[in-house]
Amino acid sequence: MSDNAREAAHRAASDAEQIAWVDEQDNLLGSLVRSDLRERGLIGRGTYIMLFNSAGELCVHRRTLSKAIYPGYWDVAAGGMVQANETYAESAARELEEELGVSGVELTAHDHFYFEDPGNRLWCSAFSAVWDGPLILQPEEVLEARFIPVDQVMLEIEQKPYCPDSLAALKRYLKAQRSDVAKNS
């Protein structure tokens, strides 16, 4: 099967997944097929896992061109939609393993916030993890990945398309980190 055919098959299966459907306060209303949720402009749940190495560099990856939203964009977090029967933490662990091949790491929960963009309305939970092992990329979703300093990420977002939802998670994370440093000094 060609890469394009594999991506298309993965996209069709992904669009048919049962996703948690929530209201404006993140109360669970039920589940809907992912494509229906998106097409009807309803709210789902998403997870964002910022993966750092022990040197403090952030893993950024480029999304495949078959992704329904932000195709080909760079992403600062692994993650995805929370399925109907999952918690945010369960979804985060599943997505990190699926996309980057990272499992068995401690996930630290950081933030819970609402994000809205055309075609993308989500309650988001952000996590972080530290990993120095190899990355095993999911070819249907990830074209390439690399660890780079956060300062470089902040420069790249001015020059390359980056996913706005995961950028919101990263910016909130960095702001909280700066606030924690200020409190402790």
Annotated binding site for Mg(2+): 95, 99
Tokens of 179: 């606030």
For 125, what's the count of Cα atoms within 13 Å in the CB-facing half-sphere?
A: 18
Question: For residues 32 and 26, is the Cβ–Cβ distance under 8 A?
Answer: no
Which residues are known binding-site members? 95, 99
| CA 5 to centroid of chain Cα atoms | 23
In eight-state DSSP terms, residue 67 is -
What CA–CA distance (Å, rounded) separates 19 from 99?
Answer: 18
Residue 95 backbone phi and psi in degrees, to 5: -65, -40
